[in-house]
Every structure is written in structure tokens, then in C-alpha cells.
Amino acid sequence: MTLAKLDAQLRDRLSAIQDKGIAKGKEKIITGFKTAENGLGPRVLLQNYPDRTFLRMNANAYLGLSSHPTVIAAESKAAETFGTGPGAVRFISGTYQPHIDLENRLAEFHDRHSAMLFSAAYAAMIGILPALIDEDTLVVSDALNHNCIINAIRLAKTARKAVFPHLDLSELERILIDNKGQAERVIIVTDGVFSMRGDHAPLDKIDAIRRKHEADYAQGILTVVDDSHGIGALGSSGRGTEEITASRADILIATLGKALGVNGGYVVSSRTVIDYLRETSASYIYSNPITPPEAGAALAALNILDSAEGKGLLNHIRMLAFKLRSGLTQLGFETLPGEHPIVPIMIRNTDKTGALVQHCFEHDILVTGLNYPIVAKGEQEIRLQISAAHTEQDIDYFLDVLSQFKH
């Protein structure tokens, strides 16, 4: 069997992607880190650039915990005790004590009855929505929801779905009114913090709409929220979108791989919901869990977040995010208001976005440009992400580099 014909077709498709200017291109390979010094945060080393160090402004590591000594020590201790990998899926002797300890702590942190680990938050969403959707379910989704939500809905093959414009709650309510009598159950699914913009869903207002119309549906209206960018980055205690909206999702999904600095995803909900998902979620049943060392490290990171030290880290990233947004505005760049450490620069042009990414790279700064089809046409942007490892001098340096860019 030969791949020659397929290779030819794929080369044509790759060329088309490149011609449109939407190719992500060759990945940059991090080979090491330079520790923080002289008022500057850590720098990364890249393959093929041995004489340069780079300020990373495009990482999800909001609290900088992946290099925290306590987190590293916890992972090392768990590896020495349990080995490096689980060796099986959860129901075939793949459940270790660190998994149970972490699940219990996550449930406690979120004030829920139960928690359940997945290999990733993406895998969690892919496994959860299809397990909850049947032919009598209407799924309602925000237009800017993450790709994992979009694909989970596709995988569920729901007979009824509706998408409302980003944060357009009047349209959300209209959908609920128009579908009265057409479905038994409704699932409203949304990001907590939207990954491309750093804004968040008004869960309190969504819940008010839900309560207003819930009696119209025999099986009720559920809210499913993916707050992977909110947990550990938003709210005075890092409990994310639920905290700042004083509201609560029926089913909350999040990640261990961003603010907590490790790997994996999880869901928290009622005991019955979690017990049901353990029996029905394919990406949980048939996939290995995170490793015991990762679970140990994540537990240590969660304990740091839920401490005075964690609150200090949260205050630091809020201060830096405010400084960055203020500086961008003073330089004449368009950004979005908020306190989340995702700080977008709205460029709204593919060529200019690419030019700014290159300008930053030439000045030893790593940023990410988001172009169509990752974002809609006219919404092209540079997504900046603040970390607790950054310093005020880092932000000053970045703003100085931006001031030299002709936009």
C-alpha cells in the first residue's frame, strides 16, 4: 500500500492553507529556561537560537506553578512511590491514591459533592456532553465557545442545537421561548472565560434566564461551563467565573494544565452525575488517566492556590494585567477591558497581526497571533497572557518594544 496519492492530496491542501496565510507554521522548540534575575522574569531558550533568550507572553501558566519547588517535589515523591505512569485505565487497576486524593480536594475546593479526572479538559468535554445528550435534548451554545465544545456537540449528534451570538442573552432567552414543547431537556453550554478574548460569561444572568424558563422543559435546563481559563486566574480566591458572578454551574469543567501548571482535566458536580459519567463517558472509561505523579503535583498546586501564597499570586497577575492594558491603551492599541490575565490586542488584520508577531520575535518576545479561522474575520488579534512569573520590568520592556511598531 502506498501513500503517494494521499500525500499529493495533502500537499495541495497544505499549500492552500499556507496561501491563505492561516498556517500555524513550524513549532518553536523550547530547550531550557534561564532563571529570573535583575528584576526580570524567567526567559526561555529555543532550538536554533543558542545566543538568545525569550520573554514568553503566550503561555497559559497563569500562576507560574509548573516550576514551583513544592509542586516539583510532590511530583517527584509520587513518581518514586507509584512510578511514572498508571499502566491501565481507571477501572482496570489504573486508579491510584493520588487520583482519589486530588478528586476529593477538587470537590472540596469547588464546594461540590464529587469530582472526576480526565486526561485533559478537552477529553472531559468530549466525554461529558455526548453522555448527557439524547434525542430529546436541545443544546444551546455561545458562538465563541471553545473548539472542544463545538466538537463535543458534533460528536453527540444532537437532533436539536442552537447557537446564540457571543454573550447575547436576549437571543439565548428567545431560543428557550421558541423551543418550548420541542425538547424535554436543555443544556446551555458555555466557556466561563473565553480563551481568545479573556471576557467571561455572566453566569448569574444566564442562571436567571434558566430559572425563568425551566418549568417549560420536563427534564429541566442544565448549565455546563468550561472554565479552564478561569480557575486559578480569576476571582479573589481563583475560583473563576463562578466566583466573580456569584453563581454556580450544574456541571463545571476545568483544566489542571493552565493555572495549576500540570496536566489533565476534571469535572465537578453532584455525586449522581459523577457516578453516571464514570459509567458512560468514553474518554474516561477507555483512556488512561493522568499519571499518579501528575495527580500529586496537581494536588500540591491546588493547595498553593487555596492559600495566602495563592492569593498573593492572583493579586500580582491582576496588577500586571491592569498595567499591561493601561499601557496598550496609552500606545493607541485596541484591547478589551477586564481583569483576566488574557489581554488581547485587537489588530483586525491578518497581515498586520503577522507583522507584529515577527516584530516581537525580533526583540526576543514570544507572542501568538490569532487569525481566521481560529477567530472570525475582522477579529484577528495578538493574545497576550500574563503569568505570575512576569515582573513589572517585563511589562515595561514589552510595552517599549510595542512602541517601536508602526501600526
The DSSP-derived string for 42-71 is: -EEEETTEEEEEEEE-S-S-TT-GGG-HHH
- 43-46 and 221-226 strand pairing: unpaired
In this structure, the chain runs to a length of 407
Question: Residue 94 corresponds to which cell in the numbers above?
Answer: 489504573
Using alpha carbons only, give the angle 234, 142, 290 rounded to the nearest 5 degrees.
55
Residues 6+ apart with CB under 8 A from 191: 142, 144, 145, 146, 149, 200, 201, 225, 226, 227, 228, 229
Preceding amide of 373 cis, omega within 30: yes
The DSSP call for residue 93 is: I
Catalytic positions: 195, 229, 258
CB-based contact 180:212 (threshold 8 Å)? no
Q: Rounded to whole angstroms, how far apart are CA atoms 280 and 138? A: 20
Instruction: In whole angstroms, give the CA distance from residue 198 to residue 134.
Output: 32
Q: Which secondary-structure segment (H or E) carries 269? A: strand 265-269
**CB-based burial label for 187 (10 Å; 0-12, 13-18, 19+):** buried
Assess contact for 53 and 34: CB atoms under 8 A.
yes
Can you tell me the distance from the alpha carbon of 103 to that of 295, in angstroms, rounded to the nearest whole number? 9
Which amino acid appears at position 372 of this protein? Y
Q: What three-state secondary structure class fits 370?
A: strand
